[in-house]
Chains A and B, each alone.
Chain A
Amino acid sequence: MQEEEVLGKAYDARLMRRLIRYLRPYKRHVALGILLSLLVSAMEAIRPYFTKLAVDTDIANGDKNGLLVTILLFLMVMIVRGLLQYVNAYLTQWIGQKTIFDLRMEVFRHIQSRSMRFFDRNPIGRLITRVTNDVEVLNDMFSSGIVMVFSDVFTIIGIFYFMFAMNAELALVTLSVLPFLFWGTFLFRKKAREAYRDVRLQIARINTFMQEHITGMLVDQIFRRERRSYGQFTEINAAHRDANIRSIFYYALFYPAVDLIGAVSIGLIIWYAGANALEGTVTIGTVMAFVQFNEMFWRPIRDLSEKYNILQTAMASSERLFQLLDDTTTIAVAEHPVPLDSVQGKVEFRNVWFSYTPATDGTQSPEWVLKDVSFSIQPGQTIAIVGHTGAGKTSIISLLSRFYDIQKGEILVDGIDIRRLRPADLRRHLAVVLQDVFLFSGTIHDNIDLGNEDIPADRVKAAARIVGAQRFIDQLPAGFDAEVKERGATLSVGQKQLLSFARALAYNPRILVLDEATSSVDTETEFLIQAAIRKLLTHRTSIVIAHRLSTIQTADRILVLHKGEVRETGTHAELLALNGIYRRLYELQYRHQEQAAQ
């Protein structure tokens, strides 16, 4: 479930350049963000200066009005600074969110346009992670990662500027602790990061263990393993605790250390001030201002060191994302596709050879799912395909929809090789009803027209009526607007099938491909389904993977597929007389239906 967090280098120029490109539409916002950071940092750095001003100029001279002016000015600067800081914080978040929205849509769009082979190769879980979490990780990078770096750097520069402007020597004395602070902070970051990674690893172990032992609790209990599993768990749990305690140690050490460095710095300020008191180069206000500066510069340093983590995770995620975006598995579209406005409905398979695993190196012969399959269907005819499990029936559907391209032979619609058509054009004239009815969350209506606005509402209703779905839809409290929950959990298998028939009918295709479901339904629904299928098949070219005797009997011709080859063709009576594969299939699958019907 969780992908191991593999962290590579923190900076990869190639990836970074590609990432920065996503900020291009927002370059003005980024510029504004940097400008605001500059202003906020300047106002942050100027703060102690006001203290000095108040102490050295106003208080020292007993100027009460001057003090009021200074203080009001100080207050104003702080309010303005607060406002700008607010705007800037929001702006950077906005930039980050906008950018990842764009990126997320690009990834989703890209996935939608991949061919079935892509989906065979990439597990759904992995693709979801790309669209959701991997994109999410980049938010930090696009918002705080880029703009806030400027803010931290500006703040440090600003503090330095004011310190040196007030008293260069004292500034040097105060800053003499800075290397320790830098060194300490980065050392802490490194250690804390290592400890954190260890904690993450241990959390993953705990989760894996728990997940496994909750799922397998039955096995644990039946084999009386509770005590031992508990023992194993306490070990993992203890490792997690100890990793955390190690991490606590670094934090426990770091914060007092920062305070101590600060105290040393204050000590140095006092010492220096004392040593130079008589020269008059240091004023009381300066001392007080420096004490404040001293508290200010460790925060931007700490923030800067955090950016390292952000960069590192961003690089790992973006690498995975770009890999996905660079995938080229699509169905090849002909350079000059033949337009397909209307279709007569003639379908022909001409010596079709197909394998899901085409041999790429040409040395090994692929595992053929279809071997030299040929048949043709005249417009308006119905052909039934029967065969035992693994005969290659479903592959025929996938090929006709051009989910995959074949290795040898031709598939023709109205005499045109489907590889010369745009897949979308082809699919528009074709409706596929699959065995497992897939319902989307949304209303009943949405599930029939699939959100297609070209299908008027009355056609949706008519389709539902014709296939006999109207009755149960009307019984739902909200009718066509009733919500389909959790992939249709509230609907029966038969109702779901009727809905998928209505869906196909609403699209009114010239060619219909129907993969009949095998699951048994009650007699009443069975009657409805049979009637619906009859209506579906009339006046259109139909290919049916038949599991019902009634469907087979309405077909113009039956094709017996066995182990990837067309072994027998003919009508029901002809094939029975042949006493071959069909005869056995009939005995196995269809005969009891005949008995039941009688």
Chain B
Amino acid sequence: MKPLLRLIPYLLRYKTTLILGVGTVVGSNLFTVVQPLFLGKAVDEFKLGVETHTYVTSDLLVWAGLIVGFSLIAGIFTFLTRQTIIVTSRNIEYDLRNDLLEHLQRLPYSYFQNTPTGDLMAHATNDIGAVRNVLGPGIMYPSDTLLTCTLVLTLMFFQDWQLTLLSLIPMPLVSIVVYRLGKVIHKKFDERQEQFSKLTTRAQENLSGIRVVKSYVREEYEIGRFEKLSSDYLDKNLVLARVQSIMWPLMFVLVGLSLVITIYFGGLKVIDGAMTIGTLSAFISYLVMLIWPMIAFGWVMNLLQQGAASMARLSAIFDTQPDIRDTEATDRSVTAIAGRVEFRNVTFRHRGSERTVLQNIDLIVEPGTTLAVIGPTGAGKSTLVNLLPRLYDVTSGQLLIDGLDVRTIPLDILRTHIGYVPQETFLFSDTISQNIRFGAFNAPEEELLKAADISQISKDVDDFPNKYGTMVGERGITLSGGQKQRTSIARAVITNPSILILDDALSSVDTHTEEEILRRMRVFMKGRTSIIISHRISTVKDADMIVVLEDGTIVERGTHEDLVALNGRYASLYRKQLLEKELVEL
């Protein structure tokens, strides 16, 4: 239960409402528990009337009216209970979910690479849901149960303590049954879900490997495997059904037992004249009133346990400290960046990994020049540029921008001045305009058009149904790989960066368009620093400096002419790409 303590600050935010809510619980209970008394009085009055042959209609009407009136008042209170306590639980859920996103936003890139999105989604939905259950039903029902039991039991005791004790014997069993069975059901349900995901995985695997299945004529075998899992799933479901099916009948029997005891012993008392028939009738009504709180009690115990487990998982996220952020070492006086980049003996390893991704990199890029990085997959090219906006921090050595260690530049200033086009183009399902203006949402129309022209997305956009207002993604048009990359370039250009990074950002763009983009880029990037990663010689050949990266080290550096003359890796790549061009044209 300890993890739930973390929720106290959230609860305190709504303390007035919650106190009011508990007040309404008291109100609704007070007005409900007296109703059986009225019924009992009415029954006795009725009996008296029959026995004495007197008209009791008007008296009975008073009782009937009281029952309806009290029920109305109790109903208003019950309505208010839900409107306060349950509504508060939704408010806290809202706060929690906002806080979760806000916290996630501060966590570094590496966190998201190591945590599957699906897990985070599960925390944001299921775990927050389980915690909300604690806050809503978990507050409403226990307070309700406590009050109802206290009031009803007091009243019952006053009327007849012996009968009260007797008739209540089976009642705690109801709570225990709900609690115990609830636990088993929860466990069996998890087992069932696990089997269901096995079934899903199997289907996924089968369909992904359908070519192999068909090639080797293994369809029947695959059907057999799936049938086995399906049948296990069936069994798990039936086990769950067996436990679930027993719950309500068992409860009915227990409640019925209570009723039988009351009628029998109460009946004996009535026969002996120790009790009126009206009191007996009221007793029966009380028993009915106790059923739900007893069920709720067992149920809430489970909710609390599940909620605590979920809160513990959420706490693990909230307790993850962002390791890339502004610290005391941050120099607040830095407000702009000119663009001189210097790698000073930089080595990088991922945390907890032995493998050296970058080793002893020394590199200087002067403002206004272009650096191109080329090399095989996995050489560390992306990691190299990811160090600039501090997606990672160096393991050893120093990365300096304008002569300052990047770790001392305010994160906000640093990232604002870097235009970044990531390798994996990610666009949001929003309009083209919103996507381009992503980092500069106040940019005027002409800036938008300018960025779109530099990135050469403008012509494509002109053909779209709603121009820049066209939605992209699931609910809009599907962009081609090249169009996405060009939109992503426009998004970086519009922020007017001092340093522009293109991480293999032209790979899906055809060579002709690429030339157009690079030409415009040269004009735009005058006086700014560009870093371009590519696999294509055509993209990098005009750069002021080209470095060839292999296994995390710089193996060749120089201009295009230098490197061709060197007749090393770059030159060999250059020859191959020429051949490829010839082949395509054949």
Contacts and interface: CB of A to CB of B under 8 A. Distances in A.
Interface of A: 47, 51, 54-55, 58-59, 62-64, 67-68, 71, 74-75, 78-79, 81-83, 85-86, 89-90, 93-94, 97-98, 101, 104-105, 108-109, 111-113, 116, 119, 124, 127-128, 131-132, 136, 203, 206-208, 210-226, 228-230, 233-234, 237-238, 240-241, 244-245, 248-249, 251-253, 255-257, 259-260, 262-264, 266-268, 270-271, 273-275, 277-278, 280, 284, 287-288, 291-292, 295, 388, 401, 403, 424, 427-428, 430-432, 434, 438, 440-441, 450-452, 487, 503, 507, 562, 581, 584-585, 587-588, 592
Nearest to A240: B94
Contact of B579 (A63, A268, A288, A587): A587
B438 to A, nearest CB: 5
A594 to B, nearest CB: 14
Minimum-distance CB pairs A-B, first 3: A256-B75, A223-B439, A274-B60
A208 B245 CA distance: 36
A113 B207 CA distance: 12
Interface in B70-97: 70-72, 74-76, 78-83, 86-87, 90-91, 93-94, 97
Interface stretch (B43-51, B151-159, B351-359, B534-542): B43-51
Contacts of A55: 267, 277, 280
Contacts of B477: none
Given A234-B98, A263-B67, A105 B218 contact: no
Contacts of B101: 210, 213, 230, 233
A477 B43 CA distance: 80
B56 interface: yes
A74 to B, nearest CB: 6
Contacts of B210: 116, 119
Nearest to B256: A78
A270 B67 contact: yes
B105 A220 contact: yes
A58 B267 contact: yes
A63 to B, nearest CB: 8
Interface residues of B, number: 138
B230 interface: yes
B422 A219 contact: yes
A132 B426 contact: no
A588 B43 contact: no
Given A223-B495, A256-B76, A588-B579, A438 B212 contact: yes
Given A85-B249, A112-B223, A288-B281, A218 B426 contact: yes
A434 B101 CA distance: 43
Given A257-B75, A260-B71, A588 B46 contact: no
A434 B576 contact: no
A175 B109 CA distance: 66
Interface of A is mostly: helix
B452 interface: no
Contacts of A226: 105-106
B246 A59 contact: no
A280 B82 CA distance: 44
Interface of B is mostly: helix
Contacts of B253: 78-79, 82
B405 interface: no
Contacts of B148: none
B196 A132 contact: yes
B147 interface: no
Contact of B438 (A109, A128, A223, A263): A223
Most buried by A among B42, B107, B248, B249: B249
A222 B415 contact: yes
A112 B572 CA distance: 47
A377 to B, nearest CB: 19
B244 interface: yes
20 contacts: A47-B256, A51-B263, A67-B271, A71-B263, A124-B207, A136-B196, A220-B105, A222-B389, A222-B439, A224-B439, A241-B94, A248-B82, A252-B86, A263-B68, A270-B63, A271-B60, A271-B61, A274-B42, A284-B43, A587-B579
A367 B417 CA distance: 47
B318 interface: no
A487 B208 CA distance: 11
Given A94-B238, A124-B208, A277 B49 contact: yes
Contact of B230 (A104, A233, A238): A104
B203 A128 contact: yes
Interface stretch (B117-125, B301-309, B513-521): B117-125
A260 B28 CA distance: 13
B547 interface: no
Contact of A221 (B98, B105, B582): B105
Contact of B90 (A90, A213, A245): A245
